[in-house]
Amino acid sequence: MLIVSNWKAYIADTKTAKALVAAAKRATRSKVQLIIAPPAPYIGLFTDGKAPKSKKLSFAAQDVSLSTGGAATGEVTAVALAGLGLTHVIVGHSERRAMGETDDVILAKVQHVLANGLTPILCIGERQRDPEAKYLSFLRMQLAAVFTPLSPRDRGRVIVAYEPIWAIGKSASDSIQPHDLHEMVLYIRKVLADYLPSGAKNISILYGGSVEPANIRALAEEGQVQGFLVGRASTDVASYTGLIKALS
């Protein structure tokens, strides 16, 4: 089971950042694999350009540049992230899509990430649900935009994170229910089977959207996901530790 902690821009001081990483290191004896995605300025605090010392704890970037290098002020390239020792990159997060990222941009970023030996965590998710279930076609299009151009080998290297936008920021009781999540996981695997007929079952599917210590275990067991992409709940030591303990 995997927990990807997306700190977003919640962390504003190195003391908190170090406390969260210390909590993660204490939890490496658990059965949960931990990946932390800090804001770019904090990446160098925890990486040294080498492979992670523990397979249970590694680091990711929250985004990556479309640029491959050169005259691109302020951009952080995939090759630079790989050189820092990161292993994963979050691509296509709903907040980035809301800023104008298109499917073409997201595909290019995924390709940059893969070309530099990193693992993309591709975020998909509908803004709202409609009675006619048109949102399913929307999810299919988001997946097709990335998986269609990729080679079979690269398709198998992508992690998919399902984050329904309508569920973000709600309480556990008002968020997605485990049986509904299970249905979505089955649907996503069905779509992925079009691109990986014999390998769709091996792709990890994560869930993100109002995950708390109170509901994470049920979502994992009944929802049949391989892990979680967690935002704000992973930026408080007590809550973060609670998530890990609930899955352990």
Which residues does the annotation mark as catalytic? 93, 163
Q: Write down the number of H helices and E strands in the chain.
A: 10, 8
Kind of pairing, strands 227-230 and 88-91? unpaired
Q: How many CB atoms lie within 10 A of CB 77?
A: 18
Kind of pairing, strands 205-207 and 88-91? unpaired
Provide the angle, in degrees to the nearest 10, between the axes of the packed helices 237-247 and 14-26: 20
Q: Distance between CA atoms of 236 and 4, rounded to whole angstroms?
A: 14
CB-based contacts of 183: which residues, under 8 Å, 6+ apart? none
CB-based contacts of 73: which residues, under 8 Å, 6+ apart? none
